[in-house]
Homo-oligomer: A and B are copies of this chain.
Amino acid sequence: MKKTKRYRKRNLLTSPGTLTYIGPDIAVKTKIRRIQYSDKIFRDEPAHSLSDCAPADQTEPVTTWLDVDGIHEISLIEKLGKLYELHPLLLEDVVNTEHKPKLEVYDAGYLFLTLKMLHVQSESPIEISCEHVSFVLGDNYVISFQEELTEDIFKPVLERLQASVGKTRKNGPDYLLFALLDVVVDNYFIVLEKLGDSLDRAEDQVIAGAHDLSLKDLYALKRELSIARRQIWPLRDMLNQLIREDNAQINKEIIPYYRDLYDHVMQVLDTIDSYRELVASLADVHLSTLSNRMNSVMKTLTIFSAVFMPLTFIVGVYGMNFENMPELKWHYGYFYVWGLMAVVTIGMIFYFKSKKWM
C-alpha cells in the first residue's frame, strides 16, 4: 500500500462540524456493547437500539462501558453523541481516521482521547497499519470507539471484568480507561517485537554480507519505524498532561497507574529510537560492504589489465612483419620472450603485493 494513500479526501469546503467518515468502506454493521459493572454487579449486553446505549442512572453506583465497534455509520455516531451530550467537533474527530492522537478536556466534564492502535499487516516486508481508536471518559462511563477492522481489541479487559480478576471491577471508569489504554500500549510491544524480528533478519543478512540484500528493505523498515514513532509520540504528552493536571475525571489513587503507562510509552519510544539507529547503522555497514566489493572489483580489473597489457604488447612486438628483426632469427628467441614475460608478470605481482592490492 502506498503510504501517501493513507490520507484520503476529507470533507473539504463543507460547513465545519459536518461528520464525514473517510476510512475504508465497510459493509459490516456497527457492533455496540454496553457493559455495566460495579464491585458486585456485572452486566454485558449487546445494544440493539439506541436506548440500550444510554448511560446508567446517576443514582446507581455502576460504571458503564460502551464499546462501539465501527465508526463508519455517521448517523449512529451522531445519535450516540446526542445521547451522551458530546460536542459535535469531538464526534468529527472520532470518525476522522486521519486525526492525530490527542487529548482534550471539555468543560462539559468529560475527557476525550484519540490514538492509534498499530497492527502488523504483513511480516516480510514488514508493514504496519493504524487503527483509529477514541475514548470518552465521563463521570460514570467510558465510551470506546474503534474501527471495525480487526477483532475486538479490548477482549482481554472484558474477560478480566467478567472474571473479576485484578483491580478493574473495584475501581471506577478512570481505572477502566487506564486498562483499555494499557491494552493499546501492550499491543505496541507486540508490534515492536515483530519489527525487532524483521530487523534481526536484516542484520543477519548484512553480517553475512548478502549481496542481494536490497537497501529498499532497510528503507521500508525505517519508514515503518518512523510511522510507528509518529503515531505513538503524541501519547507521551497526552499521558503527561493526564498525570500533571488535576482532572476531575481521574482519581488521585489511579494516577500512579497512568504514570506506569507513561513509563511504558517511553520504553516503546526508546526502543523505536534504538531500532532506528540500528537500521541507520545497518545501512551504513551495508553500503560500506558494497563499496568494499566495488574496490575489490576495481583492483581485480586493474591487476588483470596491468599484467596482461604489457604481455600482449610484447607478443605484439614479435608479431610484427619487419624484414629485419634480429630476435626472430635467434634460436631461443621464442623462449627468451617467455622468460621476459615471466619476469614482467612476477615484477607486477610483487609491485601489487607491495601496494597491498593483492
Contact = CB atoms under 8 A, between A and B. Distances in A.
B295 A294 contact: yes
A43 interface: no
Interface of A: 2-5, 7, 9-10, 12-18, 87, 89, 92-93, 98-100, 102, 104, 156, 160, 165-168, 178-179, 182-183, 186-187, 189-190, 192-193, 196-197, 199-200, 203, 207, 211, 215-216, 219, 222-223, 226-227, 230, 256-257, 259-260, 263, 266-267, 270-271, 274-275, 277-278, 281, 284-285, 287-288, 290-295, 297-302, 304-306, 308-313, 315-325, 327-334, 337, 356-357
Given A99-B263, A284-B215, A306-B301, A274 B3 contact: yes
25 contacts: A2-B200, A2-B203, A4-B278, A13-B183, A13-B186, A16-B257, A100-B266, A215-B288, A219-B285, A227-B274, A298-B301, A298-B302, A308-B310, A308-B312, A312-B312, A312-B313, A315-B317, A315-B319, A319-B319, A321-B325, A322-B330, A322-B334, A323-B328, A323-B333, A324-B334
B332 A324 contact: yes
Contacts of A156: 13-14
Nearest to A334: B322
A203 B256 CA distance: 46
Residue from A178, A179, A193, A207 whose CB has the most chain B CB atoms within 10 Å: A193
Interface of A is mostly: helix
Given A4-B197, A315-B316, A321-B321, 5 more contacts: A290-B291, A295-B297, A304-B306, A315-B320, A322-B334
A181 to B, nearest CB: 10
B2 A274 contact: no
B87 A256 contact: yes
A182 B15 CA distance: 9
Contacts of A230: 270, 274
Contacts of A102: 263
Contacts of A311: 313, 316
A238 to B, nearest CB: 13
A258 to B, nearest CB: 10
A278 B304 CA distance: 38
A254 to B, nearest CB: 11
B294 A293 contact: no
Nearest to A294: B295
B318 A328 contact: no
A102, A182, A317: residue with the most chain B Cβ atoms closer than 10 Å? A317
Given A285-B215, A288-B215, A305-B301, A12 B189 contact: yes
Nearest to A269: B100
Contacts of A2: 200, 203
